[in-house]
Structure formats: structure tokens, C-alpha cells
Structure 1
Amino acid sequence: MEKIWLKHYPEEIPEHLEYRNQPVQAYLTEAAKKYSQNKAIHFMGKELTYESVHEAALKFANYLKHLGVEKGDRVAIMLPNTPQSVISYYGILYAGGIVVQMNPLYMEREIEYQLQDSGAKIILTLDILYPRVAKVKNNTNLEHIIVTAIKDFLPFPKNLVYPFIQKKQYGISVKVEHGGNVHLLTEILKTAEARELSIPFDFEEDLAILCYTGGTTGFPKGVMLTHKNLIANSSMSDAWVYKCKKGEERILGILPFFHVFGMTAVMILSVMQGYKMILLPKFDAETTLKTIHKQQPTMFPGAPTVYIGLLNHPDIQKYDLSSIHACISGSAPLPVEIQQQFEKITGGKVVEAYGLTETSPGTHCNFLWDHPYVKGSIGVPWPDTEAAIFSMETGEPLPPNEIGEIAIKGPQVMKGYWNRPEETDQCLRDGWFFTGDLGYMNEDGYFFIVDRKKDMIIAGGFNIYPREIEEVIYEHSAVQEAVVVGIPDPYRGETVKAYVVLKENSTTTEKELNEFMRKHLAAYKVPRVYEFRKELPKTAVGKILRRALVDEERKKIEEENKIG
């Protein structure tokens, strides 16, 4: 298929990239030599050089070998963004293991499911999360639990004070002893040997990680991503930010590393290019603004909800955000209003990108520089990436401006779903990954998302795409966040409902909002029901859980029918 989007590429972005036949961890070995004394990580006042991160990762790897880890064994990480999450990630790869990324917000049932599904032998987690893991250990393949604490990598005197803050905040204080099948990371890093390990390696076939999909519908699936997948995607990202300088940029690391967007766009890219990662273990608007003001990051990959949270902080004008020059937004659609506001405050560029866990994740992006922003578009495919729109009826490729399912082909496309050959075959066909997203490509080669195949609303015979309606709601001056879903309707099949979070000190009514919407949308697209909320359910990366709201509505109707 003709790649008509290539005509827009600036000369700095090549159509094809060279991918070095080496494992992901080889880039840390190189960074430790080339940028040995450069700061690799800033974490709440503590800074680590590339040399020290490399040494700690090798120690962790050697300890894993001591515990019996063989090539291909799965080792889980259940941590927020901390130095430990970087050290352990590369340590597992050095040992020949496969990283299993786990959300630290998981409860026992979710932990047990993912450990059972992945077959992980070892897990590294926080002291305050240890009780959850210990409760389910006997129902899994876990042989060892390695424990760390936030305070382990804090500077003095924060390391002494933090346990008291943690106890007050979470109401829990856990004392874990080093011994038996429980191990303390602090002891490992004191005693283990920092020796290079020689592990056989296959660039095309060897898995680097199992990254689980969000599980908003059905059980989460383990996405098998190879070393080639991750290196290809990080290289594509690097090619896109061609004005960034090796060894000099500072990336704000709010996107969690247990999500593939944060893993590639922050962690792997930083190590590949010697950037400094400014890590935050969770998103808090005020802490983030203070961190940007003090640490002056130059790059800020994020999700729309993060930018929205900052923009709506009452004291944002007190902070200097002018260091930020490049923001790639992913995980959810970026409202144009939010993009324009954030660019105005920072003076930098914010562009929408697109990708999925199954594509490591990036496939499309708008140009950061030297091109006008195409409103509402996810941009054009990255180097070495093919994209096409396929008909939902015939399965044939469609011409420009016709809506169908977006499919992707390229070196970043996953190997498949872990232990799920049938589901893999359903979405991987003839080298194409069928995304489940509906969209179109215009005659200029720019792609547009209409909606998830599963999220499309059919009301009174009309196909209605929530994103189009959400874009309009966001244009209302009182709206901070919004999401649109289809709820069951006995007459129309489905009815459009909007959930809205208002900005602080802003007001509007259902009537006013409805009048506003009718000025911008055909009558059949205008929400019939509005519900104002203080917050919306979200995933760890800030993606609004539309499916959770749909399920909520269905349960409500079931309860009403029971009473009736």
C-alpha cells in the first residue's frame, strides 16, 4: 500500500531506521560507559549516575541467578516509578529473564491472576504491598519475594522521615526481615557481585516483557513484546524528537513504567540517549508543578488527564513551566482545547500520538516541529510502520475518508498474547495487527480515530462516535473532564449519556450544557442524559474507564428491573 504520509516527513526523519541486533539492556551497558557520570535519575532529591544504575542492575541480575533464574523465566515488578523500578527492570533482562510489569494498585485477586497467568517465579514489590503478595503466594508459582521501600532511595533526612509520612498516609507500617524466601533489595545491593553475565540472545524471538492489557473488557491478556519490538519503538520515538540532544535532555517520568508508554517513551529512550529521568511515583498536580519548576524538564510525555490536572490547578501561574519544549500525549484522545492551553502556558509543543500495548506502543504521531498541527488527528505513521483502514464488512482496504478498522504492520507489533493462540490469531492476520479502533485516513495521509469498535454507540439506527461528542463538551469553558457512553434504551437501542467533571469554581447546568451541545452537533448525537461527578474512574495512566461506567449503568438497570 502506498505510504502517502511520507511526503510530510521532514528531512531529519528517515523513512527507514537501522535497529541494532542487541538486547534492550545493552543500551544501559553503553550508557554506563558513554555517560558514566551523567545523572540518570532524579528521585525526590536523590540522584543516581548511569554508572551507579548499571552497577546496581548487574548486582540485581547476579542475585537473581543465585536464586535460580534461567533464561525465559518470568520475574515480576510491582512498583511505582522509583530508581528500584529502573534497576530491577534492567537487572531482570541482564539475567535473561522476562519482565512481568504489574500495577502497584492491584489488590489480591488481581495480583493472584497475573502471577498465575504469567507463571512468575519471583516478584519485587514495596514493603507496604508485601502483605498483599504474601496472602496469594501459595496460589501462584512464586518462589521468592524481594522487598524494597520508597525510603531506600531517598536522601538524608527524607529517608528517616518518610516511613512516618507513609504510615500516616496509608495507615500501615510493615517490617520485613531478610531471610528464607523473602529478600530485601538493600541487602542484595550491599552483598551481590556486579558481574557481567553472558546470556544467549535472539533479537527477533526473545521476549523482554509481558505487559498486560488494561482488562477493561474481560480478563487482562499478557502482551508478548520482544527486545526487537521495544528497541524498534524507542528508536522510532527518538527519530521523531530529532531536535533533542543526546546526553542533555531531562524527561519528566510521570507515566508509569508498568505501562508500555512510560517504559518506552521515558525509561528505554532515556537510557538509549543518556537523558536524565525525573521520576515521580504518582501524579499529584502540586508536586508535579513544583518538580517542573525546580528540575526544569525539557520533555514531558503524558496523558491528557495529567495535562488537564495541571491546567486546572489554581496556582499554576506561580510556577515556571517554560523549560518544557516537547510533549507527546498518548493513552487517550487529546482534546484540542487542552493542547492549546498547555502550549500557551509552557511555550512548548504538545502533540497527540497513538498506539496500543500490542504495538509497544507507538504507531502514529503528529509532528512536533516544522509542520502545522492537524486538528483532531493522531498524525501519521512512524518510520517503518504501515497503517491501513480495513472494511468491517468485506475485510478489504478502504480508500481515504472511509471509516473502518485501523490495522498496523511493523517491527513494533507484538509476538502475540501469552498462552492465548486463538486470541492472537483473531487480531494478527497476514502480519497486520487489527486494533479494534475505528478511524479513517484523509487524502493527505493523516489518520483520525473515530472510536473503539466496542465503544461505538448505535442509537436509533445511527452510528455515533463518543470522541466526536467529547471534543465538543471539552470546548465548554466550565468543563474539566468528560466521557460519553451508550446506555441501554428500550426505544432507540442505546442513548447517549455524558459524564462531566466541572472545573473548580465553575458552574453550569444540564440545560445550559445541552443548549451548547445543540449548537455544535446534529440532534441525534447530542447527549440525552448528563451526570455531573467530582471525578471519573481511570486507569493508572489516566485513561478514563468508559467500560466501567457502562457496566455501572447496566447494573443500575438490572437492579431497577428486579425492584419493578
Structure 2
Amino acid sequence: VKCLVPPPRHKASMYARILQELIPELALATLGEPIASAAVPSLERIVILPGAQEDPDLMVDSAPDGMLRWADVEAAGDAAGEAGVREVRELANLVEMGDPAGIQFTSGTTGSPKGVTLTHQGLVNNAYFVGQGMNLGSEDVMLGCPPLYHCLQQVLGQLAGLLRGAKCVYPAEGFDPLASIRHGAEEGVTAIYGTPTMYIAMMDHPKWSEYAARFRSRARTGVAAGSIVPIELMRRIMHDMGAAELTICYGMTETSPVSFQTAISDPEWAKCETVGRVIPHVEAKIVDPHTRRIVPRGVRGELMTRGYLVMKGYWNDEEQTAQSIEDGWMKTGDLGSMTEDGYVRIEGRSKDLVIRGGENISPREIEDYLYRHDAIAEVQVVAVPDAKMGEEVCAWVQLREGFTAGCADDDPYSLDAEADEAVVAAINDQNTVVTAADLRGFCKGNISHHKVPRYFRFVRPHLGESFPTTVTGKIQKYVMRDQAAKELGLVEEARPGSNA
């Protein structure tokens, strides 16, 4: 990295001050000259972006020693004159469509983040076709909830909006559900962008009802992506938020990122139960994970994609690249099946399967059923180790506002029946209490007995609990598996590599 262009701060992170501590040579650097740093030898310049500052040492009209202001860069461009413009254009003409456009890091939902090298061709074409699929135009106003450094907002939102002439509203410097619904209503947004967790946070916010009517009055389309979107949640977004033409986008950072998308004209079942069809100029196939042969329509296998959208590779990691790309085909690691009409159903990640007594259980099936319970706001299903069955099903559940988990504060799994009974008895409105036994009873007889969760882990926001997520809001199931195993005292039984 030769140049860093950070804001002085973001939330509690004081970037400029951190850089001063990491690179003491900045204090002696000559402004405009390359930085000579022992810690970061390749780094030549730091450009601080403008913005309102709470730190008096980092005011907008100045920059710390050794760092340039953004205004300095603009002034240098003006001073370069026509000769500078010609030089930039000549350099731009040297760029090929297959050249790297940037390095995007994966979210780290299954392990450590990896640097993904994406091309100009992949990013621009992906943004164009996604925007086309949403029928974005100059009359649209987009609500940008995800961070700009994430593919969901960077490509599907910002770049697609630029290509289609749409306006984008950024409600806060980080995701804020209240700011999102308030600005969405006030700005008359027509297209919403977010992960499932973000949509849930907005619709379950106590003040949603104050803005819902205005929000719905203009909402038309948008994107739900980043992780699997439960069927019941998709229906809520379409009906409660008014986004009847919402599209589901499926993909991964390594595919720029979208490979499948539902059409705004698709029937409701297709939008709620599938991720749509493969987007233009992209190939897809579903193969047997063991034989690598293509499976028949309707049969579950591993989804693979090929085309302009596939990354050049993982930055400085040829081994991992070779393991992930097979003859040009990107291994998604996701399990799915394809209908006769080409719609694809995603049934979860192969690494997330629960293998109980030799039976492969898809968490998605259990999650979709539990979402039908009136009290459940969010649910995630993971595997936990078991000495007899190999693995057991564990469901993490967060209840809607107004419902109470019928368990003691120190027992999120409701394992102590006597303690739970005492808690339940102390709650005045018994109709709002939900226990693990209630949820287990809701499942019995409606899904196969071996799929009924043995453990229910209540997530209680009033105690400061939340689902483990990445900074972009994606659920980290491997963290949940590890945490549940430790909390239940099952760590010693865990299968090797279960958190990969």
C-alpha cells in the first residue's frame, strides 16, 4: 500500500491519532514528500479526508504532521494544469478491463477475512446488470444502510446508482435503524438496501410505526442480500415496508458479488423461496460435492459459477485461490438446487450443515419454520457437538418486542426447569412468555423429529446480548457454534475443524 486515505475518525476509532502512534516518522516528514516508515516501508503518503471533528487536534482546516489534507490533493490537481490532465488521461488509457480495480476483503463469516482481487470488468458489469434487474432510474432514491466498503453497498448500491442515475441517501456513518427509517420516510426512498439483520432491526424498532406509512408510500424495490433471507422475512419486507418489487441477490465477494437475482416481475413464491436465476453473461451449475458431476434439476449439490464476475484470485495467496477456483468455476461452498425453470434455492452453506446421527440437516429448513412463530424476531440454527449423535441442533432465538424469554438471566438455554418455572411465575402477563419447551412443542409434529432443536439459546438484548456478526452485519455462525459449545460444556466433544 502506497497511499492511505482515511477519515480522521470513525465512531470511537481515531484513525489519524492511531497512525501517528504507529508511524512516529510522521513528526519529521516533509509535507508532500514520501514517508520513510520502518513499520510500513511501502507507505508513501497519507491523505486525511475532511469532516466535522470532535478532537480539537484534528480540525478540518489542518492535518497532523506528515499528512496531507484532501484540499491539498485538489490544489495539486489544479496546479498541474492541462499537462497534468493529459498525463492522467494517458495513464487511464493504459488500464485494461481485466486489470485489478480493488481488493475487497471477505466478511469473515466462516473464518479469517481474505483479500479478493476484483476487476473493472467484473465490478462495472455486475453493477449494471443488478441495476437493470431492479429497473433503477433517475427518479429513484436509494437508502444505503450497509457500509460503503462492503460489496452490497459499493457495487449494488453506489456503483449501480451512478450507472443508472439514481440518488443515494446515507442516513448515518454506521448502520442506525432509527436513522434509516426516519431518513427513508423523509427522503421518499424508493429502493432499500440491507442485510436480513438490518431489515429486522428497522421493522422491529419501537418507532417504526411512526414512520411506516410514509416509508411505504414511496418504497418500490431494493436488495436483500449478504446472507440467506428467510421466507417470512422476505414477505414482511415486501408487505410491511412496501417494497413489492424487492429483489433477492445472491453471490459472494469473490463474484463481484452477484451471480443470481430475482426479477421484479417474478411471482411472490420465487422471490420468497429462491434467489432467482443466473444474471446475464454468467454460467452456473450444481454439482455433487464428492463426484463433481452435475446433478439433475431438483437435486441438492454445491453451487458453482463462471464468467466475467469471478475474481482474479486471493491477494498473495495462490494456494487458496487454486482451492477455490476449478477450471474457471468458482466454488461457492453453498448448497442449493435448481428448478426446471432455472430458479435456484439456497439450502445453506456446506460448512453449516448439522450432521446428526449420519443425517445431513439443513439449518435453513428449521429457521424458515421457526420464523412462522409470532414471537420470533430472528433465529439462527447451528450444530453443537454431541457424544452420541455426533452433532445436535441448537437454535439461537431473539424474541420480538413485547415477548419475554422464560428463562433465568444466567441460563440462556433454559436448562434448569425449576429456575425457569420461578422466572415464568414472576412475570405478570403469561401470554408474553416464551420458553424453550414452547418452541420445541411448536416444532414437534411439524418438522421431522430429528430436526427439532435439542437446545434453544435465547438472545436477550436487555442483557446486552446479540447475535455475533461481522462489521457489515453478517451472521458469524462459526462463532455461534464455538460459543454454544463452550456455554453448554461440550467443547471437548467438538469435531476437528468445526469452526473452519
Q: Same fold (TM over 0.5)?
A: yes
Structure 1 residue 74: deviation in Å? 5.8
Please say which structure displays the higher CA radius of gyration: 2
Aligned to 2:192: 300
Could you tell me whether the CA contact under 8 Å between 1:323 and 1:346 is conserved in 2?
Answer: no
Aligned partners of 1:211, 1:104: CA distance in 2, in Å?
A: 19
Question: Are residue 510 (structure 1) and residue 433 (structure 2) matched?
Answer: no
Amino acid of the structure 2 residue aligned with 1:543: K
Mark the runs of 5 or more structure 2 residues left unpaired by the alignment. 24-37, 405-433, 494-500
Aligned to 2:113: 220
* Structure 1 counterpart of 2:386, from 472, 489, 493: 489
Aligned CA distance change for structure 1 residues 303 and 341 (closer, same or farther; 3 Å): same
**Could you state the TM-score of these two structures normalised by the residue count of structure 1?**
0.71
Question: Are residue 139 (structure 1) and residue 39 (structure 2) matched?
Answer: yes
Could you tell me whether the CA contact under 8 Å between 1:359 and 1:414 is conserved in 2?
Answer: yes
Aligned to 1:87: none
Aligned to 1:67: none
Structure 1 residue 393: deviation in Å? 1.3
Question: Are residue 550 (structure 1) and residue 481 (structure 2) matched?
Answer: yes
Aligned partners of 1:130, 1:503: CA distance in 2, in Å?
A: 40
Aligned partners of 2:188, 2:335: CA distance in 1, in Å?
A: 38
Kindly tell me the number of residue pairs found equivalent between the two proteins: 428
Aligned partners of 1:76, 1:483: CA distance in 2, in Å?
A: 38
Q: Deviations over 1:197-243 (max 9, x none)?
A: 1214343431111001123344321101010010110121122123x
Question: Are residue 332 (structure 1) and residue 232 (structure 2) matched?
Answer: no
Could you tell me whether the CA contact under 8 Å between 1:366 and 1:373 is conserved in 2?
Answer: no
Aligned partners of 1:412, 1:357: CA distance in 2, in Å?
A: 10
Q: Deviations over 1:302-355 (max 9, x none)?
A: 111111111112222221112110021100111222222222233322332201
Aligned CA distance change for structure 1 residues 491 and 373 (closer, same or farther; 3 Å): same
Aligned partners of 2:479, 2:133: CA distance in 1, in Å?
A: 34
Question: Are residue 211 (structure 1) and residue 104 (structure 2) matched?
Answer: yes
Name the SS of the counterpart of 2:402 in structure 1: coil
Tell me whether 378-387 or 266-275 shows the greater mean CA deviation. 266-275
Structure 1 residue 259: deviation in Å? 0.9
Aligned to 2:263: 367
Aligned to 2:31: none
Name the SS of the counterpart of 2:280 in structure 1: coil
Could you tell me whether the CA contact under 8 Å between 1:143 and 1:181 is conserved in 2?
Answer: no
Tell me whether 133-142 or 301-310 shows the greater mean CA deviation. 133-142
1:1-80 equivalences in 2 (<5 Å): 75-76=3-4
Aligned partners of 1:237, 1:416: CA distance in 2, in Å?
A: 23
Could you tell me whether the CA contact under 8 Å between 2:190 and 2:220 is conserved in 1?
Answer: yes
Aligned CA distance change for structure 1 residues 292 and 560 (closer, same or farther; 3 Å): closer
Name the SS of the counterpart of 1:301 in structure 2: strand
Could you tell me whether the CA contact under 8 Å between 2:4 and 2:46 is conserved in 1?
Answer: no
Could you tell me whether the CA contact under 8 Å between 1:127 and 1:175 is conserved in 2?
Answer: no
1:52-451 equivalences in 2 (<5 Å): 75-76=3-4, 128-137=14-23, 138-140=38-40, 141-151=42-52, 163=53, 174-175=57-58, 177-178=62-63, 180-189=65-74, 192-193=77-78, 196=85, 197-198=88-89, 199=91, 200-242=93-135, 244-245=136-137, 247-280=138-171, 281-319=173-211, 320-321=214-215, 322-349=217-244, 350-369=246-265, 371-374=267-270, 375-451=272-348
Could you tell me whether the CA contact under 8 Å between 1:339 and 1:351 is conserved in 2?
Answer: no
Structure 1 residue 513: deviation in Å? 0.9
Aligned CA distance change for structure 1 residues 561 and 424 (closer, same or farther; 3 Å): closer
Q: Root-mean-square deviation (CA), in Å?
A: 2.6
Could you tell me whether the CA contact under 8 Å between 1:128 and 1:173 is conserved in 2?
Answer: no
Mark the runs of 5 or more structure 1 residues left unpaired by the alignment. 1-72, 85-102, 106-125, 152-162
Query: Percentage identity across aligned positions?
Result: 30
Aligned partners of 1:254, 1:474: CA distance in 2, in Å?
A: 23
Structure 1 residue 426: deviation in Å? 1.1
* Structure 2 counterpart of 1:523, from 440, 443, 449: 449
Structure 1 residue 190: deviation in Å? 5.5
Amino acid of the structure 2 residue aligned with 1:346: M
Name the SS of the counterpart of 2:109 in structure 1: coil
Name the SS of the counterpart of 2:192 in structure 1: coil
Could you tell me whether the CA contact under 8 Å between 1:377 and 1:446 is conserved in 2?
Answer: yes
Amino acid of the structure 2 residue aligned with 1:299: A
Name the SS of the counterpart of 2:163 in structure 1: helix
Larger relative contact order (Cα-Cα within 8 Å, sequence gap ≥ 6): 1
Aligned CA distance change for structure 1 residues 473 and 131 (closer, same or farther; 3 Å): farther
Aligned CA distance change for structure 1 residues 77 and 339 (closer, same or farther; 3 Å): farther
Structure 1 residue 389: deviation in Å? 0.4
